[in-house]
Chains A and B, each alone.
Chain A
Amino acid sequence: MIKKIFTSPITLFLAMILGALTGILGKEHISSLSLINDVFINFLNMCMIPIVACVITINLSKVSRNKKKQGSKGVIKSWVLYTAASFVLAALISLFFSFFLKNFLTPDTAAKQNFVSANSNTTVSSLFEKIPFYDDDFNLSIERFSFYDFLISAIPNNVFSALSSGETLKIIFFFATLGVMQFYIKEESSKLFTDLLDNVYSSLNKFVSYILIFSPVSIFCILAAQFSDDNKINILKSTFNLIVVIYVIFFSLILASFFIIQIKTKLKIKEHLRAIKQIFVISMSTRSCLATIPTAVENSKKYLKLEPSVVDMTLPLGITIAQSGGVVSAVMATTYTLYIHNESLKLDSLVGLILGACMYAVSFVGIPGVIAVGMLSSVLTPLGLPSDVIIMIWIGLITVIDPILTFQCVYTNIAITSLVTRKKTTPTINSSQ
């Protein structure tokens, strides 16, 4: 009963409202609240990477042993095509809204003033970059992110150091490789290994289901901290129009996913909503796509009645590396930067922007929020746009955008899985549940 109350969307919504109000009205007492959120996030992070590693390894080992190998290849091919289409759709919808709502989005002088006064403790030395005039060999260190660096960095040269430093992408790559290689070893020893992983997965999943009872507390604390910071509130006020447009774009994508799932599954709306309710709560409270994987996989099989083998194969992978919400972030960040500089997007930059946004969405897998925002420069720099101001703005927006972005990423991947699914099956219930 307590679990049901605490994991209800209404409780979550109330926690968000209370958190915002507490932040605005009780600024002096906020510092201790952020500690509660930190503990919650640490507990989640403790479990997430092992859960994702186990899920990917187990499912890929099942796939690799699938006798209908031709079918598996077909599924993977469809999945890649639909995922690419979802990225392009996300980019086009974002461009559509940002183009037609240009006047609504363009920040005024007061908003720009708030962007720069967010750093009110500026000292005179921080206003300038000091460089020598007479030393031609001098170079400032500029952080650049590229897709090439991303590809190279995906392969761990030491999996133990990747595990100890929590480099998610490298860990996923390693366990994905391990999962695929199960096909090439004896079935008995492979089964032993996957059973062990299944045990780890089930235990941690149970633990996470208990932690999630405290998700309203966490969301209360994080919003209180956000709204207690005057600088962040100024940023939010100045970018209110941008936040509204981003939410409209995400709701459009969620609506599109809803219709796709509805058409493919032909379920009653009530059952459909029941399937996504828990996913919605976890997305909004944890802001972590990885945290939603177990519930998304489970509910897709149990309530949406999608083909289990396809769900096992595509959904964990899709939620991990195909986050179309990143495309929306990249496109909106770019167009907003253009509007700050009173410029418009040129047609010849359009293709570059869509490609850059897609690469960005794939590149920030497993990277902490603030660093992922910093990678926006990989989209802006090739278009000749400075990224420092938009990165500062986006860091201020993360807390507000991340919940809906997470839910949209997961829900779109479920929609893609439903498109890839070939037939309906009777639901299989995981014994650990």
Chain B
Amino acid sequence: MKQKNKILVLFMFVFLLVFVLLKTEAKTSSRPSLEDDKKYRTTFSNIAFESDIMKIETVEKPVSQDIKNIIDKGHITIGVYGDDRIAFFQEDPSLPKGNNLYGADIDLAKKIAKNLGVGVEFDRTAETYDQLVDLLVFDRVDLVISTFSDTPERSKYIDFSDPYFSAGIGMMINKQALVSKKMEENPVRYLKNNSENICVQEGSSYETIAKEILPNAKFIQVKDVKDGFELIKNNDGKAIAFFGSELEFVEQLSKSPIFSIFTKAYIFSDMDDRLCIGIKKGQNGLKLYVNECLKYANKPSLENLFISYKKAFGKK
């Protein structure tokens, strides 16, 4: 009897040893590669292998529908304003069309596309910033990344990401008008209380803001920012100020430094223009994803932009 018990104990010991050894080997053996999961890129997957003891199957983590649509499409479409904005989005004429855009906004778009594992296409059909809103609303584009300001009016129709850049809002004023109308000490106070001609870019967020905060002013709409600057250059009564963004002023003064002889730029210290990525309403998954990408993205700064402008216009 004692010998039978010994054999039984020995057999159970060997069985346990074999069991442990087999389990360890199963963990270190080669797993199916993540390449097989290319279509649905989950962060991790459980390994499945067949054994007499248990079966474990691959689990696919679901993504939000708005992101899935983009992944299924294979590319993300970004809405960008039709005219170039130096340092944000501009064409390199030496490169073939379709792949010749560069700038801070373009880099951001490519980063988001790369993180999603899809290609990127740019839609530059919008001739005004209001048309960029339409592109989103009518599903022509997935995102708008185009020095796009978040405004209450636009928020009615579309959603915005967290801001990735903050620039000032202000006015560029003709110097002779400043002196002759005695408004050097506080031009804002004068313009709030008097009916003067002020230029704004048609369809821009600054047009909306200006009309709201300067009710007494008479507004002259211009299609292009550079037309507005030309109007205020001479003291001929057409317009004495241009209402716009610090970015536009930096670009104009870098492009044409002699402008500072004729005009003076004022930025409002208690107001700012936040550039965000435009997202269609209801696409919360995409919005969250974009915000996460922005946290770790290389965001532009005004000083770096100024250097870029000086280099760009210095070459010309």
- In A370-402, the 8 Å CB interface with B consists of 380-381, 384-386, 388-389
Please tell me which one of the listed residues A129, A139, A386 contacts residue B266 in the complex, with CB atoms under 8 A apart.
A129
Asked whether any CB of chain A lies closer than 8 Å to the CB of B92, the reply is no
Chain B CB within 10 A, most for which of A112, A123, A133, A341? A133
Residue pair A115, B268 in contact (C-beta under 8 Å): no
Residue pair A116, B185 in contact (C-beta under 8 Å): no
Q: Could you tell me the distance between the alpha carbons of A135 and B270 in the complex, rounded to whole angstroms?
A: 9
- In B142-189, the 8 Å CB interface with A consists of 168, 170, 175-176, 178-180, 184-189
A146 to chain B, nearest CB (A): 14
Please tell me which one of the listed residues A138, A380, A386 contacts residue B186 in the complex, with CB atoms under 8 A apart.
A138
Residue pair B189, A127 in contact (C-beta under 8 Å): no
Across-interface contacts of A128 in B (CB, < 8 A): 168, 170, 246, 249, 265-267
Asked whether any CB of chain A lies closer than 8 Å to the CB of B63, the reply is no
Asked whether any CB of chain A lies closer than 8 Å to the CB of B261, the reply is yes
Chain B residues bordering chain A, tally (CB within 8 A): 38
Nearest residue, chain B, Cβ from A135: B270
Nearest residue, chain B, Cβ from A380: B179
Given A127-B250, A341-B176, check contact A142 B213 (CB 8 Å). Answer: no
Q: Could you tell me the distance between the alpha carbons of A143 and B180 in the complex, rounded to whole angstroms?
A: 16
Across-interface contacts of B170 in A (CB, < 8 A): 128
- In B241-255, the 8 Å CB interface with A consists of 246, 249-250, 253
Interface residues on chain A, size class: 20 to 34
- In B192-245, the 8 Å CB interface with A consists of 192, 213, 234-235
A132 to chain B, nearest CB (A): 5
Given A116-B258, A341-B235, check contact A127 B249 (CB 8 Å). Answer: yes
Residue pair B249, A139 in contact (C-beta under 8 Å): no
Asked whether any CB of chain A lies closer than 8 Å to the CB of B260, the reply is yes
Please tell me which one of the listed residues A135, A138, A386 contacts residue B178 in the complex, with CB atoms under 8 A apart.
A386
- In A64-116, the 8 Å CB interface with B consists of 109, 112-113, 115-116
Residue pair A136, B192 in contact (C-beta under 8 Å): yes
Residue pair B250, A124 in contact (C-beta under 8 Å): yes
Q: Could you tell me the distance between the alpha carbons of A380 and B176 in the complex, rounded to whole angstroms?
A: 10
Please tell me which one of the listed residues B179, B192, B246, B265 contacts residue A386 in the complex, with CB atoms under 8 A apart.
B179
Across-interface contacts of A380 in B (CB, < 8 A): 179
Across-interface contacts of B303 in A (CB, < 8 A): 123-124
Across-interface contacts of A343 in B (CB, < 8 A): 235
B247 to chain A, nearest CB (A): 10
Residue pair B261, A389 in contact (C-beta under 8 Å): yes
Residue pair A116, B271 in contact (C-beta under 8 Å): no
Nearest residue, chain B, Cβ from A133: B268
Asked whether any CB of chain A lies closer than 8 Å to the CB of B297, the reply is no
Residue pair A134, B270 in contact (C-beta under 8 Å): yes
Nearest residue, chain B, Cβ from A389: B261
Residue pair A340, B267 in contact (C-beta under 8 Å): no
Asked whether any CB of chain A lies closer than 8 Å to the CB of B16, the reply is no
Across-interface contacts of A140 in B (CB, < 8 A): 184-186
Across-interface contacts of B192 in A (CB, < 8 A): 136
Residue pair A381, B179 in contact (C-beta under 8 Å): yes
Q: Could you tell me the distance between the alpha carbons of A184 and B241 in the complex, rounded to whole angstroms?
A: 63
Nearest residue, chain B, Cβ from A124: B306
Residue pair A130, B269 in contact (C-beta under 8 Å): yes
Asked whether any CB of chain B lies closer than 8 Å to the CB of A2, the reply is no
Asked whether any CB of chain A lies closer than 8 Å to the CB of B302, the reply is yes
Asked whether any CB of chain A lies closer than 8 Å to the CB of B285, the reply is no
Asked whether any CB of chain A lies closer than 8 Å to the CB of B274, the reply is no
B267 to chain A, nearest CB (A): 5
Asked whether any CB of chain B lies closer than 8 Å to the CB of A161, the reply is no
Instruction: Kindly list 20 other residue pairs between chains A and B, CB separation below 8 angstroms, not including A343-B235, A386-B176.
Output: A109-B258, A116-B258, A116-B261, A117-B257, A124-B306, A129-B265, A129-B267, A131-B188, A131-B266, A131-B268, A132-B188, A132-B269, A133-B268, A139-B186, A140-B186, A340-B261, A341-B261, A380-B179, A384-B176, A386-B179
23 cross-chain CB contacts under 8 A:
A113-B257, A116-B257, A116-B258, A116-B261, A127-B250, A128-B266, A130-B266, A131-B186, A131-B187, A131-B188, A133-B269, A135-B270, A136-B186, A136-B188, A136-B192, A138-B189, A140-B186, A341-B176, A342-B234, A384-B180, A385-B176, A386-B179, A389-B261
Q: Which residues of A contact B (CB under 8 A)?
A: 109, 112-113, 115-117, 123-124, 127-136, 138-140, 142, 340-343, 380-381, 384-386, 388-389
